[in-house]
Amino acid sequence: MTRIVAIDIGGTFTDIVVYDKGIKIEKVFTGKNVEETIERILSNFQEAKILHATTLLTNAILTRTNIPKAALMITKGFRDVIEIARQNRPRLYDLFFEKPKPFVDRDMRFEIDERTNYKGEILKEVNENELNNILKEAKKKGAEVLAICFLHSYANSTNEEKAKELARHYFEFISASYEVAPEPREYERASTTLINAILMPIVLRYLKKFKEVFVMSSSGGLIDKNEAISRPIQIIESGPAAGVIATAELSRFLKIDKAISLDMGGTTAKVSTIINHEIMITSEYEVGAEVHHGRIVKGSGYPLRFPFIDLAEVSAGGSTIIWRDLAGALKVGPKSAGSYPGPACYNLGGEEPTITDANLLFNRISEEISGYKLSRELAVKALKKLGEPREIAKQAIDLANLEMARAIRLVTVERGLDPSEFSLVAFGGAGPQHACLLAEEIGIKKVIIPFHPGVFSSLGLLFCNEKYEARAKPEKDLESSFQNLEKKLARKLGKENVVFQRYADMKYKGQGWELLVALPKPCSYEEACKIFEDAHFLNYGFKLDHDIEIITIRVFAMLEKKINIEDIKYEIKVKEAKVQYRKVFIEEFEEIPVYSRDSLNIGFEIKGPAIIEEYSSSTFIPNKWKARIIDLGCIKLER
């Protein structure tokens, strides 16, 4: 098998996993320049298949840097839909609230005198002369990319297809809504198409340095370079997705029916639920939106209609800054010290205290982590600015745990699920330090710490299928509609061994928004309605005696993955358990055992309080908790 290199770029560390007759792992500081970090890594792996997760596009949208000038071609009368947006207000009583600024100026929005109705009937065809004049004007005004979004093109894309064909003579980067978001709602479709257009040249510039690369998509699968360049909105939430896939694979291997994925890295903590080894998908997302305790504030960002893994993300990472507000109350986040200057203890110039500084003060992590030396003295100095260091550290860790507990409730309680029935799978550099305390807060009794937790998201890239999506408006015969989509994807991929997953956006007639539900194969309309009603009751606690509509159908094509989680071998480097002792803060500082993880055989048991240390992370086992090493070298913690 070709050597495979998985690269996951985080806000603080970049994690690298090399699979070549075994696993090799490494963590490096991401640094100020992500592209320089990538080029440095690639120089060591010239002949390798690269799997990659990145936060590049999220950062580009948030900072609005290197954004190309865009033109939007839209149906006559809809020029301002991208600015009118929806009338919901994220902050109802804020008189000074401003909507997100559109990525296309008004003078770069061009109306086309064409019309298709909601049934897909073309009432007026596009005029070639009009199109040519508009395309020339757009180029004259300096447009680098073009977005095309015509009314009801999801029902019939003929006018859009003609416009795109002609636009090829003028533009290299063209995003048409029938290819990106073929579904109802003009504002959301226009927003999705426009965001896709402005990201195309950014992704092309970024990926051209890779010889062979597969990029993690937001829906939980790998896509090839060409797919990433043509529909870059798929990789906006690339970073967090791989860890959820890794958790799903681990839960399958360990036969855990209900799992919560907790990825606590340097900048944020991400949580998601996995039921019966399947990830949860949502079809709507807002990029660049405000986040309130893990919940996206609708109307504060740019809406995208594309499948995303359903997760909640909060500002509770190792580099999250601890501070006081004007009233003197202690706060944690949302600001992060990132990689540079990083936590004070990194000794890279950071002076503000962080969660990592708090854990180092309590000796829950050692003074060397992932090959980097930490300074306990600088951590104490930073924490002292806010008060007595021990008190500040304890309050900050409690606040971070509360923030993560809120996020877990978002993906469990608010979905009609009981978190106490789940096992918590905790990873990321900081996740194992907080897992047991967080589990106590939320009422969870079992915690799993996977092998190599600090790079578990990168490992997740190895376990991913290639995954490609197509969607359409359903015809009268639901089964044949799905089969047509599957044939379309199969022709596009030109590969065998394709497994298909089916989803549908459904709602009661008269409702304003749909619910995304997974459907079996084969599936009749009646069967789909029964599945929808059960899902609606689970999410909202009631059913209605109304007709049910299927608005959009979706198919994912899954190509067989190269590596299974059971292919990873757990190796013990020494015959006997290695243990040292050091003073660690529990209620007070007390001397407890600190084990080296790579010396613990399967079946080895530990009673808390204790610590298990390894290259990429550190697992804190509090009082009343016990740990046992199980299959694949995972740590199973029970209270």
User: Could you report the per-residue pLDDT of 349-393, keeping only the tens digit for each?
Assistant: 889 999 999 999 999 999 888 778 999 999 999 999 999 999 999
- Please report the pLDDT score of residue 20 as a whole number: 83
**Every domain of the chain and the residues it spans:** 70-204, 466-560
pTM for the whole structure: 0.90
Calculate the average pLDDT of the chain.
Answer: 91
User: Could you report the per-residue pLDDT of 111-126, keeping only the tens digit for each?
Assistant: 999 999 999 999 999 9
Please state, in angstroms and rounded to a whole number, the distance separating the CA atoms of residues 222 and 202: 19
Query: Exposed (0-12), middle (13-18) or buried (19+): which is 438, by Cβ within 10 Å?
Result: buried
Mean pLDDT, rounded, for 278-304: 81
- Please report the pLDDT score of residue 294 as a whole number: 66
Residue 262 has φ and ψ, to the nearest 5°, of -120, 110
Please state, in angstroms and rounded to a whole number, the distance separating the CA atoms of residues 423 and 405: 14
pLDDT at residue 297 above 80? Answer: no
Question: Strand runs (DSSP E) across 458-497, as ranges?
Answer: 466-472
DSSP code at position 621? E
SS (H, E, C) 273-290: EEECCEECEEEEEEECCC
Mention the CATH class of domain 466-560: alpha beta
- Please report the pLDDT score of residue 12 as a whole number: 75
For the chain, give the number of residues.
639
- Please report the pLDDT score of residue 32 as a whole number: 61
- Please report the pLDDT score of residue 26 as a whole number: 85
User: Could you report the per-residue pLDDT of 309-341, keeping only the tens digit for each?
Assistant: 988 888 898 999 999 999 999 999 888 887 778
- Report the run of H or E that residue 296 belongs to, with start and end: strand 295-296
Mean pLDDT, rounded, for 617-632: 95
* Top-confidence residue, 127 or 33: 127
pLDDT at residue 40 above 80? Answer: no
The neighbour count for residue 536, using CB atoms within 10 Å, is 20
Mean pLDDT, rounded, for 85-108: 86
Mean pLDDT, rounded, for 435-458: 95
Q: Say whether the peptide bond before residue 334 is cis (omega within 30 degrees of 0).
A: yes
Select from 25, 9, 28, 27 the least CA-distant residue to 17: 25
In DSSP notation, 231-275 reads SGGGGTTHHHHHHHHHHHHHHHHTT-SEEEEEEE-SS-EEEEEEE
- Please report the pLDDT score of residue 10 as a whole number: 78
Q: What percent of the chain has pLDDT over 90?
A: 67
Q: What percent of the chain has pLDDT over 70?
A: 98
Please state, in angstroms and rounded to a whole number, the distance separating the CA atoms of residues 324 and 332: 9
Strand partners, 275: 258, 278
Query: For residue 169, what pLDDT band results from cuts at 50, 70 and 90?
Result: very high
pLDDT at residue 1 above 60? Answer: no
Q: b/e string for 375-400 if b means 16 or more Cβ within 10 A?
A: beebbbbbbeebeebbebbbbbbebb
Query: For residue 33, what pLDDT band results from cuts at 50, 70 and 90?
Result: low
